[in-house]
Structure 1
Amino acid sequence: MKGLSGKVALVAGATRGAGRGIAVELGAAGATVYITGRTTRSRRSEYNRPETIEETAELVTQAGGHGIAVQTDHLDPGQVRVLTDRIESEQGRLDILVNDIWGGENLVQWNVPLWEHSLEGGLRMLRLAIDTHLITSHYALPLLIRSKNGLVIEVTDGTAEYNDSNYRLSMFYDLAKTSVIRIARSLAQELAPHGCTAVAVTPGWMRSELMLDHFGVKEENWTDALAKEPHFVISETPRFVGRAVAALAKDPSVHRWNGRSVSSGQLAQEYDFCDLDGSKPDCWRYIVEVQQAGKPADPSGYR
């Protein structure tokens, strides 16, 4: 059902991964979706990956929405201002803002203490993970608050409950992902008087393009990766978190989630949606109760 027909969304950082999955599912619900990122068919970012914002826009349109690709570096305030001015000029409204900008995978040094970690790489990671979200919200929120029930989604890694109890194996990564949760909580306070909502949303162990490449598999044969990492059995597609965000966007009572931190698995239970294979992976509960508990990989009761 086209529950978001007539709605306008900006998915910032939608070249691949969660951003792409979210954009496609918002499109499937009928939304007009602006897709931003740095990689286009004519120019690649520092990632040097093949995925492009044009591809994402085409997938959104194929799903039933209207995808519009706009190359944007979200660390550049001028480019973000031009982007939001364009949305206002072309649409006159913004109903949904998804801050999914990241770009720090190649900068993380896992299990390396602060004093040995690349300072340059760590500080850039924080800029990519935090400054981009703040810059984008600064320019996009004046347009969003004109729409009653406007929704901001801050995409992160890990729920507040999990991240508060676990060190994420890198000082800079830990700060990056917990800070995004705090951004959502703070925005919730600032947006509430305007009838708008901010929620931090995390996918589980996601079968992104980068993760599939890491294991040397494709989506079609992803289970082959279980030979290397049995707990990958709890993984999910990027469309799963996309369906979580679409469910929030379609909920007329979404304000009940204001300021909260939730996972795709939790929202699947609440809104009764499934991943592409019909399952409902509850990754963060699995990680604590099975993987960290030292039990053999077994998704029974978690999918």
Structure 2
Amino acid sequence: MGVILQDQVALVTGASRGIGRGIALQLGEAGATVYITGRRPELSDNFGLGLPSLEYVAKEITNRGGKGIALYVDHSNMTEVKFLFEKIKEEQDGRLDILVNNVYNSLGKATEMVGKPFFDHDPSFWDSINDVGLRNHYYCAVYASRMMVERRRGLIVNVGSLGGLKYVFNVAYGAGKEALARMSTDMAVELNPYNVCVVTLIPGPVKTETSLRKNVEDFMKEDTEEYVKGESTEFTGKALARLAMDPGRLKKSGKTLFTEDLAQKYDFTDRIGMEPQNIRSVRTILGTMGKSEVAKFISPKIKLPKWVIWQSVNRF
């Protein structure tokens, strides 16, 4: 991919593992200076998987050709969040080209209420899901936009989820993910005049370090195979990096984008053995309906139009 983003400064929140790490590595491979955040080791829930430190990920970014800078930030603490952007502004002479709002409390939290109706759980559960996963994203977007608007350029990517389109896990999770997509759409209205693009990016099933843990498999059941064959974490990173390189990206501002759609548009593939899924693919839809024998005869390129997906979630 070269060093097309060598003069760009990016911030990827929640990049110590999973999709965040994959995004940060790909931005680094494109030559960007990438600030990455994560929780301090003593506060991080690594599920006993022996995951790498934030500093290690920063070194990976640098080894890929970019410049990795690790910063420990508690994204539930808005004082720390504000300091993060002040630090970037000072160190980069007011420059921030790319913000990736990816940080989340953890998949464990999101699955905590599986099987329980929302009224059987303490209402404070809402905060544990959406404090970092939604409120923080708004704060980060505000601070990033101030720098981007001043320079009349920038890209903000809110990493979304299929939970914003259909019921997944629980009420708090779905409400937060749909709100995130709406936030992108409304921010685009106010940021477009300043040449700042903001989108929601939704990956398909992703094979992360934690997505195949037993409690998640128990919930997914029929979808487990899709997660085993799912996207690599760097597939989302490739999609985001290509979007950052696109001079016409403002046309996509306010939209919800799917990683596999961007793969076709920008002509890139995942790692060997990975089979990215698309929510609009007829093959994928048939597979999730338990009709895998029929699905295998359908080309993955045959997709439902986006307006059909919209109609399926439209409440009016």
Corresponding position: 1:100 with 2:102: yes
Structure 1, residues 260-291: CA drift from partner, whole Å, max 9, x if none? 00111111011111112286623323585223
The amino acid of 1:178's aligned partner reads: E
The CA distance in 1 between the partners of 2:259 and 2:247, in whole Å, is 19
Could you tell which deviates more after superposition, 174-183 or 115-124? Answer: 115-124
Question: In 2 relative to 1, CA 137–252 (structure 1 residues): closer, same or farther, beyond 3 Å?
Answer: same
Secondary structure, counterpart of 1:145 in structure 2: helix
Report the TM-score when normalising by structure 1. Answer: 0.87
Q: Say which of 122, 128, 131 aligns to 1:124.
A: 128
1:213-232 mapped onto 2 (5 Å cutoff): 213-214=213-214, 229-232=224-227
Secondary structure, counterpart of 1:115 in structure 2: helix
- Name 1:56's counterpart in structure 2: 57
The amino acid of 1:255's aligned partner reads: L
Total equivalences in the alignment: 290
Corresponding position: 1:153 with 2:153: no
Contact 2:202–2:258 (8 Å) recurs in 1 = yes
1:9-24 mapped onto 2 (5 Å cutoff): 9-24=10-25
Gaps of 5+ in 2: 302-316
Structure 1, residues 137-162: CA drift from partner, whole Å, max 9, x if none? 222221122333300000011286xx
The CA distance in 2 between the partners of 1:151 and 1:54, in whole Å, is 25
Contact 1:274–1:280 (8 Å) recurs in 2 = no
Q: Say which of 294, 299, 308 aligns to 1:301.
A: 299
Corresponding position: 1:235 with 2:237: no
Contact 1:150–1:195 (8 Å) recurs in 2 = yes
Secondary structure, counterpart of 1:139 in structure 2: helix
The CA distance in 2 between the partners of 1:273 and 1:280, in whole Å, is 13
- Name 2:115's counterpart in structure 1: 111
Structure 1, residues 1-24: CA drift from partner, whole Å, max 9, x if none? 211011000001111111110000
Could you tell which deviates more after superposition, 51-60 or 249-258? Answer: 51-60
- Name 2:40's counterpart in structure 1: 39
Q: CA RMSD in A?
A: 2.7
Q: Say which of 252, 260, 274 aligns to 1:265.
A: 260
Corresponding position: 1:70 with 2:71: yes
- Name 1:211's counterpart in structure 2: 211
Gaps of 5+ in 1: 217-225
The amino acid of 1:77's aligned partner reads: M
Report the TM-score when normalising by structure 2. Answer: 0.83
Structure 1, residues 214-233: CA drift from partner, whole Å, max 9, x if none? 499xxxxxxxxx99933335
- Name 1:84's counterpart in structure 2: 85
The CA distance in 1 between the partners of 2:240 and 2:214, in whole Å, is 26
Secondary structure, counterpart of 1:209 in structure 2: coil
Secondary structure, counterpart of 1:235 in structure 2: coil
Question: In 2 relative to 1, CA 171–84 (structure 1 residues): closer, same or farther, beyond 3 Å?
Answer: same
The CA distance in 2 between the partners of 1:228 and 1:154, in whole Å, is 24
Secondary structure, counterpart of 1:124 in structure 2: helix
Contact 1:273–1:280 (8 Å) recurs in 2 = no
Corresponding position: 1:290 with 2:289: no
Please state how far the C-alpha of 1:88 moved relative to its aligned partner: 1.1
Corresponding position: 1:2 with 2:3: yes
The CA distance in 2 between the partners of 1:146 and 1:228, in whole Å, is 45
Contact 1:29–1:65 (8 Å) recurs in 2 = yes
The CA distance in 2 between the partners of 1:281 and 1:142, in whole Å, is 35
Contact 1:95–1:147 (8 Å) recurs in 2 = no
- Name 1:222's counterpart in structure 2: none
